[in-house]
């Protein structure tokens, strides 16, 4: 089992010797290792295979993927450079479909390429790398702002359920939902985190539990099917989760199982909050029905790692995300403040202010 040196923040992505390094989240918490990436194809594979995961972290990785693609091809002729860049954007955009941060980051990188067409490939490569660093640094600042707004919603001593991992590992640092817990603890509150295991990829059991244990934030791990019982027993005061995409009407796509938690929270009168940077809101989509839901490989449901427990030949479904209707969302915690009972008018206003 692995741990970080004391007071060492999790660096999900880092730039080392002209390459991107990312923590291999498939093997945490048993091993803590970085893998190294040199071009867009490699980064896309890292995203697809879940070395890096979590909406904001995927966006940051994609931005670095574009910068790496430019650096890797900066010495070829202009035509070949343009072709390599088109390929880079394409392969990164095809890596995972649900988290809108991926497309948001690619769009920012593309706009920069288009508005600097007069630059030589080496100049453009250097500019794209600066932009990727900027997107990662901005993500941490946004998470800290969300953390402050979200922390104010939690009472001292609150027992808060979270689903999946919306922590430092899912972002460039601090986290969204776990950022709220970190900020509340930093403000002097006692917070007890209840982490859903999050079948089938176990982001809760492996990643959220690991992050909280690293920082001595009290955490209790439960399997996903225990949440209703704990709510009924009065052992959960609030739910805070992250999100991969929020539609214009406030419908929330997040890790499979989130909808079930939201329905349970509603039934038990428990507030259900979603930590959501503006980069995760997709005003192009009228409602959650239009959000593409990734369907992943059956192997993830049939076992974990090398271990298999389901019989070969069984039919399997593996949707990786679900959509929680806006009516079940008590509030979206954004970097601009909390949007209570979100709807289209409130979200539009958020982008205007
Ligand atoms: O499949 P994953 O692990 O990428 O799914 C991650 C989630 O669903 C997170 O809750 C979401 O991306 C928010 S992360 C701040």
The pLDDT tens digits of the residues spanning 132-158 come to 999 999 999 999 999 999 999 999 999
The pLDDT tens digits of the residues spanning 219-249 come to 999 999 999 999 999 999 999 999 999 999 9
Q: Is residue 252 part of a domain?
A: yes
The pLDDT tens digits of the residues spanning 28-67 come to 999 999 999 999 999 999 999 999 999 999 999 999 999 9
Dihedrals φ, ψ of 322, to 5°? Answer: -140, 175
Q: Which of 120, 143, 166 is the last residue of a domain?
A: 143
- Does one domain contain both 190 and 245? yes
Q: Is residue 5 part of a domain?
A: no
| Torsion angle of the four alpha carbons 81, 87, 88, 93, in this order, in degrees rounded to the nearest 10 | 150
57 CA → ligand 1 middle, Å = 9
Q: Looking at the DSSP assignment, which residues form a beta bridge with residue 255?
A: 321
Give nearest CA residue, ligand 1 atom 10: 242
Q: Are 28 and 210 in contact (CB under 8 A)?
A: yes
Closest by Cα among 190, 173, 178 to 150: 178
Q: What is the pTM of this model?
A: 0.97
Q: Is residue 157 part of a domain?
A: yes
State how far the Cα of 236 lies from the Cα of 154, in Å rounded to an integer.
Answer: 12
Ligand 1 atom closest to the CA of 203, numbered from 1: 3
Name the residue of 244, 300, 301, 332 whose CB sits within 8 Å of the most ligand 1 atoms, as the mutation to test its pocket.
244
295 CA → ligand 1 middle, Å = 14
State the average pLDDT for the chain: 97
254 lines ligand 1 (CB under 6 A): yes
53 lines ligand 1 (CB under 6 A): yes
pLDDT of residue 195: 98
- Does one domain contain both 229 and 160? yes
pLDDT of residue 298: 97
Q: Which of 143, 173, 206 is the last residue of a domain?
A: 143
- Does one domain contain both 259 and 320? yes
Burial class (CB in 10 A: 0-12, 13-18, 19+), 118: exposed
Q: Which of 99, 126, 143 is the last residue of a domain?
A: 143
State how far the Cα of 286 lies from the Cα of 225, in Å rounded to an integer.
Answer: 31
State how far the Cα of 219 lies from the Cα of 241, in Å rounded to an integer.
Answer: 15
Residue 2 pLDDT > 70, yes or no?
no
For the chain, the domain total comes to 2
The question of whether 244 is a catalytic residue gets the answer yes
Residue 6 pLDDT > 60, yes or no?
no
Q: Which strand (E) or helix (H) includes residue 118?
A: none
- Does one domain contain both 88 and 206? no
Q: Can you read off the two tokens belonging to residue 16?
A: 């080392």
- Where helices occur in the chain by DSSP H, the ranges are 40-48, 55-72, 78-93, 100-115, 121-151, 177-186, 209-214, 227-232, 258-267, 299-302, 344-352
pLDDT of residue 353: 78
Q: Is residue 107 part of a domain?
A: yes
47 CA → ligand 1 middle, Å = 12
- Does one domain contain both 214 and 293? yes
243 CA → ligand 1 middle, Å = 6
- Does one domain contain both 167 and 95? no
Average pLDDT estimate for 177-201:
98
SS3 per-residue string spanning 198-255: CCCCCHHHHHHHHHHHHCCCCEEEECHHHHHHHHHCCCCCEEEECCCEEECCCCEEEE
Cis bond leading into 29, ω under 30°? Answer: yes
The pLDDT tens digits of the residues spanning 203-225 come to 999 999 999 999 999 999 999 99
250 lines ligand 1 (CB under 6 A): no
Residues above pLDDT 70, as percent of the chain: 98
Q: What CATH number is attached to the domain comprising 45? A: 1.20.120.420
Residue 129 pLDDT > 80, yes or no?
yes
Domain that holds residue 49: 13-143
Q: What CATH number is attached to the domain comprising 341? A: 3.40.50.10470
Q: Which one of the listed residues 196, 244, 251, 322 is annotated catalytic?
A: 244
The pLDDT tens digits of the residues spanning 255-309 come to 999 999 999 999 999 999 999 999 999 999 999 999 999 999 999 999 998 999 9
- Does one domain contain both 107 and 191? no
- Does one domain contain both 311 and 189? yes
- Does one domain contain both 132 and 180? no
Residue 78 pLDDT > 60, yes or no?
yes
191 CA → ligand 1 middle, Å = 22
State how far the Cα of 148 lies from the Cα of 184, in Å rounded to an integer.
Answer: 7
């Amino acid at each position: 089992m692995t741990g970080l040196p004391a007071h060492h923040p999790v660096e999900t992505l880092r730039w080392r010797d002209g390459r991107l390094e990312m923590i291999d989240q498939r093997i945490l918490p048993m091993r803590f290792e970085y893998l190294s990436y040199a071009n867009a194809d490699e980064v896309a594979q890292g995203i697809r295979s879940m070395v890096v995961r979590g909406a904001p972290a995927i966006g940051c990785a994609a931005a670095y993927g574009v910068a790496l693609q430019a650096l890797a091809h900066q010495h070829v002729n202009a035509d070949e450079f343009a072709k390599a860049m088109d390929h880079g954007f394409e392969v990164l955009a095809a890596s995972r479909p649900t988290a809108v941060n991926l497309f948001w980051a690619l769009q920012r990188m593309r706009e920069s390429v288009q508005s600097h067409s007069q630059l030589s490939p080496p100049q453009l490569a250097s500019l794209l790398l600066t932009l990727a660093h900027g997107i990662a640094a901005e993500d941490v600042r946004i998470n800290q702002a969300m953390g402050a707004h979200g922390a104010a919603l939690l009472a001292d001593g609150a027992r808060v359920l979270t689903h999946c991992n919306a922590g430092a590992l899912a972002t460039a640092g601090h986290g969204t939902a776990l950022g709220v817990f970190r900020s509340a603890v930093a403000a002097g509150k006692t917070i007890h985190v209840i982490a859903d295991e999050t079948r089938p990829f176990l982001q809760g059991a492996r990643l959220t539990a690991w992050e909280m244990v690293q920082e001595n934030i009290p955490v209790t791990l439960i399997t996903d099917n225990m949440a209703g019982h704990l709510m009924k027993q009065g052992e959960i005061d609030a739910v805070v989760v992250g999100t991969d995409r929020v539609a214009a009407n406030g419908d929330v796509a997040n890790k499979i199982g989130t909808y079930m938690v939201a329905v349970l929270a509603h039934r038990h009168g428990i507030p259900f909050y979603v930590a959501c940077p503006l980069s995760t809101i997709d005003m192009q989509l009228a409602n959650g029905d239009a959000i593409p839901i990734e369907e992943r490989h059956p192997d993830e449901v049939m076992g974990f790692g090398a271990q298999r427990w389901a019989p070969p030949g069984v039919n399997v479904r593996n949707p990786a995300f679900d959509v929680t209707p806006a009516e079940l969302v008590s509030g979206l915690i954004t970097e601009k403040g909390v949007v209570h009972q979100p709807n289209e008018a409130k979200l539009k206003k958020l982008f205007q202010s």
